[in-house]
Amino acid sequence: MLKIGVPSKGRLMEKTFDWFGTRGVTMRQTGADREYSGTIEGIEGAELVLLSAGEIPRELSAGRIHLGVTGSDLVREKLADWDRQVVELAPLGFGHADLIIAVPTGWADVETLDDLDAVAAQFRRDHGHRLRIATKYHRLVRDFLTAQGVADYQLVDSQGATEGTVKNLTAEAVADITSSGETLRANHLKILSDGLIHSSQAMLFASLRAEWDAAARTTLAALLARIGLDTALPELSG
């Protein structure tokens, strides 16, 4: 049985159902909203697994689902060496958002990462501790800043209302997902001109760690043909 993980609620679930539905594969949630069970019509040998978007990378990595729909940002954040654990089959064209670094608009001379690096060094000299960047994307932000040569900072965890941390004096800058930038502007924050870390969208992923027996491979081939993907079957272990 080919197990397909799909976000269990909200617009991501609706958009995923729509994307597959227009391609001849009907997905439905069954039972009450909180039961997280569903069905698939239009392809034999497939099972729908409803999970939170944040759980799907973990389940792909563990090999408990064969395919999964989730944000490319979540896969990269939650899975070290993600490209050794999953393979991208197709971008789905929704769920667009950018992971960016933003600083207070009052920092008139800070427009780039080089400026941020200079301010961070001065901040540490002046205050005796590193400049704080609030985020829930620790892996992505750390890897990005390391690659860009920014060193004098510390990441502070923020699982909600990240844009408000600067106003609340719990951070000096933020690294967060944004689609329109309106919330950033409302909190008097500006995006660094070279502060784009990752442009995210919903993706269809295949697990490299699932059990890809003959039945699962056959169902995958039929599914890819049905939804119109010319993707060659990835190298999947049996």
* Domain residue limits, the chain: 2-96+201-226, 97-199
pLDDT of residue 71: 97
More confident residue, 29 or 21: 21
User: Mean pLDDT throughout 99-103?
Assistant: 97
Cα 42 to Cα 20, 28, 57, 87, 88, distances in angstroms: 10, 12, 25, 24, 22
pLDDT over 70 at 6, yes or no: yes
Compute the mean pLDDT over every residue in the chain, rounded to the nearest whole number. 93
* pLDDT above 90: residue 134: yes
Q: What contacts 127, CB < 8 A, 6 or more positions away?
A: none
Predicted pLDDT at 159: 78
Checking if the pLDDT of 171 tops 80, the result is yes
Q: What confidence category does residue 160 fall into, taking pLDDT thresholds of 50, 70 and 90? A: confident
Coil, helix or strand at residue 237: coil
pLDDT digits over 28-43, tens only? 988 655 556 789 999 9
- pLDDT class for 233, splitting at 50, 70, 90? low
Predicted local distance difference test score (pLDDT) of residue 31: 65
204, 90 Cβ separation under 8 angstroms: yes
pTM of the predicted structure, to 2 decimals: 0.90
pLDDT over threshold 80, residue 238: no
Domains 2-96+201-226 and 97-199 share a fold: yes
Q: How far apart are the first and last CA of the chain?
A: 14
- Confidence band for 136, pLDDT divided at 50, 70 and 90: very high
What pLDDT is recorded for position 58? Answer: 97
Torsion angles phi and psi, residue 185, rounded to 5 = -65, -40
Q: Which of these ranges, 32-36, 63-67, 150-154, has the smallest mean pLDDT?
A: 32-36
Return the C-alpha torsion angle 18, 23, 29, 33, nearest 10. -10
Write out pLDDT tens, residues 111-124: 999 999 999 999 99
Residue 237 has pLDDT above 80, yes or no: no
CATH fold label, 2-96+201-226: D-Maltodextrin-Binding Protein; domain 2 (3.40.190)
| 179 or 73, greater pLDDT | 73
Residues 97-199: name the CATH superfamily.
Periplasmic binding protein-like II (3.40.190.10)
Q: How confident is the model at residue 33, as a pLDDT?
A: 54
